[in-house]
Amino acid sequence: MTADAPQPVQMIARGRIITMDPTRRIIEDGAIAIDKGLIVAVGAHADIAGRYRAADMLGGPDALLTPGFIDAHTHCTQCFVRGLTSGELPMIPRIYNPAQRVLTADEAASTVRLLSAQMLRAGVTTLCEGTLNPDHETAILETLEEVGIRSILARGRADQDFHHASLYSQINDRSWVKARDGEAESDLLRTEDLLQRFPSRGDGLIHAAVNASALLGFSPRYFTEGAALARRFDSTLQVHIGRDREEVEFCLDVWKRRPVERLFDLGVVDEHLVAVHAVLASEREIEILAKGKAALAHSPTECVANMNAIPNLPRFRAAGIRVALGCDNQANDMFATMRAAWLIHGARWGVERFDPEFLPAGELLEMSTIESASSLRIDHITGSLEPGKAADFLVMDGTAPHFMASQDVTSELVRYGSRAEILQTVVAGRVLYDRGNFATIDMQGLRDEATAGAAKVRQEVVDRRYRPLPAF
Ligand SMILES: [Zn+2]
């Protein structure tokens, strides 16, 4: 090969590129050279075409290329039942837990395939499983590997009994917690094993993390030793916090502290902490998270669907807190989720203060890509289109009417773009979704599995709902 001969690579993708690199560069008629699943070069198409050649070509002069989206918070085994949860508070013990408990391992695998199909169709290349249901751990892990979507698995099993006395019954009843001896140690050993097999900072598709779902169910020991594990493996500790009134009541009754204050007392608020939801975080709690450099996983649709509370996102941003957007199974579509964030925060903070800059489109895109990757500590491998990172990206139809009369492509993508314009979803250089076809999911089989699964979980929760179900 002469010095000038183009270097053979696996794939070249051409289009207008939104890189989300440190300078947020947008390249008109750009190209990405990809080899062995990694990005080798990003630049002007004329330059890349001169330096590289590939049998596999994606996109074209009219395509739009963006980093794949990262869904920073989900629960894989909830998607058979998600349509029955809205307004059914408290939906976790009432609907989600029984519907998940009843699933066999095969059915859990089907939920993972269904979730992955919904996500790949909508341009999500990385999902973050927030609690990794221990009963279905192996099925979930194996199915994610089979599908080939990038995943963060935060695992951990509750080790503490508790009793919640509601505010109105605290006159003669008090809340309490009691750790179950030895459970934290044995469960954290399993998490350590997962962290060793799937390092957070590794190059594989699966990245392990630590889950201590909530202050009620996880002991102080679990939190402090779980946080130590997250630090040791440069991973994250993921905690649902400040989510509902009951939790705040509980924390004030048992520890005389609000939820994030309690986390601070436990010594776990640092850059490895991902505070999930924090919709009820006070000004002081936001300050604690900011000082500790913790991140927020924010699910805007869930705020409306189930939590009935909206976090003060502009305040989180002003304090310098990294924010990662998550669907939490309410959309499984980051376009819908970015738009929900735009609209609910616009209605809550922008309109109220007559402030059009409450949440610019560019920041919403950061929260779905590079900032999400940084919050989840996988920004070494994904979140932007830069040499050395994995080829996790979307090829979109840049000729769609939504993208005509283009003035500011980032704003147009976030505010008007949708999954309808996605042609291909690529994870680590592998085209997993291509114009309606899924490379690793048997959609006919999945349809049958999903129909059966939906009927099963419906049967399980039918008597637990407030409102009768419509007949079908
Ligand atoms: Zn969650």
Q: Could you tell me the two tokens for 37? A: 């699943």
Q: For residue range 405-415, what is the model confidence (pLDDT) as tens digits?
A: 999 999 999 99
Q: For residue range 271-288, what is the model confidence (pLDDT) as tens digits?
A: 999 999 999 999 999 999
Tokens 């932007």, located at residue: 384
Ligand 1 centroid to residue 195 C-alpha, Å: 20
Ligand 1 centroid to residue 315 C-alpha, Å: 22
Ligand 1 centroid to residue 277 C-alpha, Å: 8
- Element housing 426 (H / E): strand 422-427
Q: How confident is the model at residue 300 (pLDDT cuts 50, 70, 90)?
A: very high
CA distances from 8 to 12, 34, 53, 263, 429 (A): 10, 10, 5, 52, 15
Determine contact, residues 137/155, Cβ cutoff 8 Å.
yes
Q: Where are the beta strands (DSSP E) in 194-278?
A: 206-211, 237-241, 273-277
Ligand 1 centroid to residue 399 C-alpha, Å: 37
| Three-state DSSP state, 166 | coil
Ligand 1 centroid to residue 408 C-alpha, Å: 34
Q: Could you tell me the two tokens for 178? A: 């009691």
Domain ranges in the chain? 7-68+385-438, 73-375
Q: For residue range 238-255, what is the model confidence (pLDDT) as tens digits?
A: 999 999 999 999 999 999
Q: How confident is the model at residue 3 (pLDDT cuts 50, 70, 90)?
A: low
How big is the chain, counted in residues? 472
Ligand 1 centroid to residue 302 C-alpha, Å: 9
Determine contact, residues 6/53, Cβ cutoff 8 Å.
yes
Q: For residue range 366-386, what is the model confidence (pLDDT) as tens digits?
A: 999 999 999 999 999 999 999
Handedness of CA 453, 454, 456, 461 (dihedral sign): positive
Handedness of CA 420, 422, 424, 425 (dihedral sign): negative
Ligand 1 centroid to residue 42 C-alpha, Å: 36
Reply yes or no on domain 7-68+385-438 having CATH 3.40.50.2000.
no
Q: Could you tell me the two tokens for 344? A: 């609910």
| Three-state DSSP state, 58 | strand
Q: How confident is the model at residue 297 (pLDDT cuts 50, 70, 90)?
A: very high
Alpha helices by DSSP H, 77-219: 91, 97-101, 105-121, 137-147, 183-197
Ligand 1 centroid to residue 318 C-alpha, Å: 25
Whether the per-residue pLDDT at 471 is higher than 70: the answer is no
Ligand 1 centroid to residue 214 C-alpha, Å: 10
Ligand 1 centroid to residue 11 C-alpha, Å: 37
Ligand 1 centroid to residue 130 C-alpha, Å: 6
Closest CA to 280 of 300, 295, 260: 260
Ligand 1 centroid to residue 328 C-alpha, Å: 6
CATH architecture of the domain 73-375 equals Alpha-Beta Barrel (3.20)
Whether the per-residue pLDDT at 2 is higher than 60: the answer is no
Same fold, 7-68+385-438 and 73-375: no
Ligand 1 centroid to residue 327 C-alpha, Å: 9
